[in-house]
Structure 1
Amino acid sequence: MSETQLTIQLTLAGVFFITAISVDLYKEKIPNKLSLLAIFCGFAINAYYAQLAGVLMACFGFGLAFILLFPTFIFRILGAGDIKLMMGIGALMGPDLLFSSLVYGIVAGAGTSLILITWKAGFRGLFKTVKRYWDCFYLRTYFKPESDEAAGQRVPYAPALAIGWLWACSLDKDIVALYQNWSLYLGLGVT
């Protein structure tokens, strides 16, 4: 993979994530147009730079995102917008970085979800959820969460997915080498 291709892919993925986070935090929805643009760019860039091998890589990244994330939609863990966005990132960056991004995104999601839930419901909402879970466990009966408690909140997951992607990028040897080359080129002295 050329440095130019990788630079374009990273730049576009960053723009897609920043846009998705902004919209997801504000509207709690990731627009289909953004996801479709990510998917199109992924296939177009990989086809342009790597021809058939690039199209296959985009297909594998796209398909892996769908296979891994579709069950989370069925069980209402993630929204369709999150899944479509990651299908676009998979088409753009390929299956290896996509898989790492998802693993790290799950870890990051624990922290971002707790922060966003606390921001929305407050500590009182967290306490109500803990108490409800205790009651469910102790009485062996399920009680539906109330709208003002933490478990009754919808949490945007785009921030966690973006953090997972950044984390995966920071551990990818090709991306680290590209960053070091750019740092030297720009005279930042970072090695």
Structure 2
Amino acid sequence: MSETQLLLQLVLAGLFFIAAISIDLYKEKIPNKLSLLAIFCGFAINGYYAQLDGVLMASVGFGLAFILLFPTFIFRVLGAGDIKLMMGIGALMGPDLLLSSLLYGIIAGAGTSLVLIIWKTGLSGLSKTVKRYWDCFYLRSYFKPAADEAAGQRVPYAPALAIGWLWACSLDPDVFALYQSWNAILG
């Protein structure tokens, strides 16, 4: 993979994540147009720089994101916009960086979800959820979460996915080599 291709992929993925975070925090939805643009760019850039191998890599990244994340949509863990965004990132960056991004995104999601829930409901919303879970456990019956408690909130997941992607990029040897190359040029 050429430095130009990798740089273009990183810049575009970063821009897609910035747009997704901004929209997801404001509207709690990632637009299809953004995801489709990411998917198109992934196939176009990889196809241009690596021809058939690039299209195959984009296809594997795209498909892997769908296969791994579609069950999370069925069980209402992630929204469709998050999945489509990661399909675009998979097409753009390939399967290796996608897998790392998802793994680190899950880890980051615990922290970002907690911060966003406390931001939305305050500590009282969190304590109401803990109390409701205790009541469900103690009484062996399920009680639906109230609108003012943490479990009753929708949490945008784009920030966690972006943190996971940044974390994966920071550990990727190709990205590190690109950073060192640019640092030598600029520094």
TM-score interval, smaller chain? over 0.9
Amino acid at match of 1:175: V
Cα displacement string for residues 72-91 of structure 1 (whole angstroms, at most 9, x for unaligned residues): 00000000000000000000
Report the counterpart of residue 70 of structure 2 in structure 1: 70
- Note the alpha carbon deviations across 1:122-168, whole angstroms, 9 max, x for none: 00000000000000000000000000000000000000000000000
SS for the counterpart of 1:25 is helix
* Structure 2, gaps ≥5 residues long: none
Alpha-carbon RMSD across the aligned residues, in angstroms, is 0.3
Q: Which amino acid aligns with 1:81?
A: G
2:84: which partner in 1? Answer: 84
Residue pairs, 1:7-156, within 5 angstroms: 7-156=7-156
TM-superposed deviation, 1:183: 1.0
Give CA-to-partner distance per residue, 1:91-144, whole Å, 9 cap, x none: 000000000000000000000000000000100000000000000000000000
**Partner Cα distance (1:31, 1:23) in 2:** 8
Q: Partners in 2 of 1:14 and 1:182 — Cα distance? A: 17
Matched residue type, 2:142: Y
What is the CA distance between 1:175 and its match in structure 2? Answer: 0.2
1:184 positional shift: 1.2
In structure 1, distance between residues paired with 2:185 and 2:27: 40
**TM-score (normalised: structure 1):** 0.98
State the alpha-carbon separation in 2 of the partners of residues 66 and 92 from structure 1.
14
How many percent of aligned residue pairs carry the same amino acid?
84
Q: TM-score, normalised on structure 2?
A: 1.00
Q: Secondary structure at the match of 1:156?
A: coil
Separation (CA, whole Å) in 2 of partners of 1:97 and 1:81: 19
Deviation per CA, 1:52-74, whole angstroms, max 9, x where unpaired? 00000000000000000000000
> What is the aligned residue count?
187
Instruction: Tell me the CA shift for residue 22 of structure 1.
Output: 0.2
- Aligned residue for 1:168? 168
Unaligned runs of 5+ in 1: none
What is the one-letter code of the residue matched to 2:28?
A: E
Letter in 2 for 1:48: Y
CA distance in 1, matches of 2:109, 2:162: 10
Counterpart CA distance in 2 for 1:133 and 1:181 is: 52
